[in-house]
Amino acid sequence: MSTMINEAILAKHVSKWFVKKDSQSRLPWKRHQKEKTVIRAVSDVSFQVASGEIFGVLGPNGSGKSTLIRLIATLLIPDEGKIAVFGHDVNKEGLAVKAMINRVSVEASFFKKLTPMENLLYGARLYGLSGHEARRRILVTLQELGLKQKSIFRPMEEMSRGMQQKVAIARAFLTQPRLLLMDEPTTGLDPRSKLEVQKVVRRLRDDHGATILLTTHDMVEADILCDHIAILDEGRIVALNTPQGLKKIVAKNGTKPTLEAVFLALTGKQLQEGEVINTKKEDTAS
């Protein structure tokens, strides 16, 4: 007897670390050896994402957001803990998980000499879409993302980075995945392009029932799109709630704080694209 899985993602006590080789040891008897540092990119992270919701992950650069995305996408293996996607263990049932997900990275790769149409047709065939249906879906998706007809048939190398990112998003939308992992998808896009991408994200969720996990540096984007938000700092979740619930954490004297104010209060770091400014005060002895 089959049961309905209401959780798109279930993560329990997930940790991932990397070993970094430092400079050669200064100790005479170890001068030919390089010392090693263990970097804990994700540390004891637990959360769940309901089917059909948009779940945001906020955090400064180096907080573990991209590592977390790669763990869910089966590109990395957790060193501790467990991750399940619609009830399928990412380690033991990787193929089943890959069939249900797609991923948009901040740095997408393409055949730069080919056009967006040619790139997306190639990707569609890998997913078993027919030529006619794939072409129709590609045209609709690219036009919804604001690409003009003439741009669809020009080489990718002639397009701006922002336009290329739209094509990457369209490629992920093509397969209508049950779970879409979006790692800073609107970074580098102008305000109008961001709105177009956000509109399509909502449509994918509302019309097709997709679940979306979104990492972003854009606080306004997170506020208007996400049903729940996890704030990640140094590999750990320091808060998890709805946007309104997070704002209540730092609300004082009837004020209505922004998500950026919440982030600053919880991490002591200002969240910006490509830069983190540490605003923590030095600890003083008591």
**CATH number of the domain bearing residue 67:** 3.40.50
Domain containing 270 equals 1-100+228-286
Does the pLDDT value for residue 113 go beyond 70?
A: yes
Confidence at residue 282, expressed as pLDDT on a 0 to 100 scale:
33
Neighbours of 26 (CB within 10 A): 8
Residue 245 domain-assigned (yes or no): yes
**Does residue 186 fall inside a structural domain?**
no
Q: What percent of the chain has pLDDT over 70?
A: 85
**pTM for the whole thing?**
0.80
pLDDT digits (tens, 9 = 90+) for 145-194: 888 888 889 998 888 877 888 888 888 888 778 999 998 888 777 888 88
Average pLDDT score over residue span 92-101 = 93
- Which among 208, 154, 179 has a CA at the least distance from the CA of 69? 179
pLDDT at 280 over 50: no
Give pLDDT, residue 73. 94
The 3-class SS string of the chain reads CCCCCCEEEEEEEEEEEEEEEEEECCCHHHCCCEEEEEEEEEEEEEEEEECCCEEEEECCCCCCHHHHHHHHCCCCCCCEEEEEECCEECCCCHHHHHCCEEEECCCCCCCCCCCHHHHHHHHHHHCCCCHHHHHHHHHHHHHHCCCCHHHHCCCHHHCCHHHHHHHHHHHHHHCCCCEEEEECCCCCCCHHHHHHHHHHHHHHHHHHCCEEEEECCCHHHHHHHCCEEEEEECCEEEEEECHHHHHHHHCCCCCCCCHHHHHHHHHCEEEECCEEEECCCCCCCC
- Over residues 215-264, the pLDDT tens digits come to 988 888 999 999 999 999 989 999 999 999 998 887 776 677 888 888 88
Task: Retrieve residue 179's tokens.
Answer: 């779970």
Whether residue 46 is contained in a domain is answered as yes
Number of folded domains in the chain?
Answer: 1
Would you say residue 124 lies in a domain?
Answer: no
Residue 125 lies in a domain: no
Is 47 part of a structural domain of the chain?
yes
Domain assignment present for 184: no
Q: How confident is the model at residue 29 (pLDDT cuts 50, 70, 90)?
A: low
Work out the angle between the directed axes of helices 131-144 and 161-174 (0-180°, nearest 10): 130
- Give the least confident one: 1-5, 22-26, 149-153: 1-5
In a domain, 116, yes or no: no
